[in-house]
Amino acid sequence: MASTAPGPQSTPTSSGRVALILLAALLVGGAGYLANRARQHVERLNTQIGTLEEALAQTTVDAEAAAQRAATAERSAIDATASAAQSRANADQARQDALDSDERAIVADRRATDAVQFLITAEEEARRAREEADEIRRVAEAEMNRLTEALGQIAETRRTALGLVMSLDEGYLKFDFDQAELRPESRELLSRIAGILFTATDSAITITGHTDARGEVEYNQELSERRARAVADYLIAAGLPADVFTVEGLGMSHLVDPDDTAEAHSKNRRVELGIVNARIIESYASFPAR
């Protein structure tokens, strides 16, 4: 087998080696340059990442602050809504209170008006009642004056505030000694009195018997009552209504003359007719004279 001698291309020349070295140097230098550029790029990226992280952190803080402000604003809005609702409720209540107050004021005004009207009506009724009472009293007073004048022509008669008193002593009304029976002349006198009393209206008559100061007290009281009863019975029998009479005996308790003389005894032995007008009494009781 024939041997093959190496050709000229298999052995590098010096210029080839230089080229290889230069190529290697270029490769090494290019790799360093690229590494340096890569490192710088990475550093820039790290810087950007750091900036982005800081921005992200700040954004997070800002977001949390914004969220806090939003929560605070929401609470404030809720509180404001509640306050507004309470204010509306208070306003509604105030309006209702105002309406209620106005209604109460209207009711109070109506009551005040009613009270004033009632007072006016009451005063008018009182005025009419006083006028009526005055008229009744005037008529009754005129009637009493007429009776006083008419009876005064028969026996001693005096006017009183509510009526009159007619006194019939022994000069007018005679009884037998220690007796209660009426004498004929006494009956005639009482008939005249009865004729006048027939015309009296709304009158009440009290017949009171009196004795002089001689004798026993109890006996004189009983005798005076029997004589007063005899006068009342005669007037009733003459036609006057029994229910207008009141009879009493006072014996020697109301002497008109305390002397111990025949004239004094005659004055004290008497029967008195007290006549009052019921209409006068009623008018004075309702509306006292002014």
Residue 12 pLDDT > 60, yes or no? no
Model pTM?
Answer: 0.56
Residue percentage of the chain with pLDDT more than 70: 84
Residue 271 confidence (pLDDT) above 90? yes
Q: Between 48 and 118, whose confidence is greater?
A: 118
pLDDT value at 249 more than 60? yes
**What pLDDT is recorded for position 4?**
47
Instruction: State the pLDDT confidence band at 193, using cuts at 50, 70 and 90.
Output: very high
| Predicted pLDDT of residue 28 | 59
Comparison of pLDDT for 166 and 5, the residue scoring more: 166
CA 182/CA 231 separation, integer angstroms: 8
Question: Which residues does 210 contact at the CB level (< 8 Å), separation at least 6?
Answer: 224, 250, 251, 252, 254, 255, 256, 268, 269, 270, 271, 272
Report the DSSP beta bridge partners of residue 207: 247, 273
Residues in the chain: 290
Integer Rg of the chain from CA: 70
Predicted local distance difference test score (pLDDT) of residue 51: 79
For the segment 76-113, what is each residue's pLDDT rounded down to a tens digit?
A: 778 878 887 888 888 888 888 888 888 888 998 889 89
Question: pLDDT per residue over 114-170, tens digit each?
Answer: 999 898 999 888 888 888 778 878 888 888 899 999 999 999 999 998 899 999 988
Conformation bin of residue 251: beta by default, left when phi > 0, alpha when psi is -120 to 50: left
* Share above pLDDT 90 across residues of the chain, in percent, rounded to a whole number: 37
Compare 49 and 121 and report the one with higher pLDDT: 121
Q: Does residue 228 or residue 61 have the better pLDDT?
A: 228
**pLDDT for the residue numbered 33:** 67
pLDDT at 288 over 60: no
Eight-class DSSP state of 207: E
Give CATH for domain 143-286: 3.30.1330.60
228 vs 99, more confident:
228
Helix (H, G, I), strand (E, B) or coil at 273: strand
CA distance 251 to 226: 10
Which of 23-37, 67-81, 115-129, 186-200 is the least confident region?
A: 23-37
pLDDT at residue 23 tops 70: no
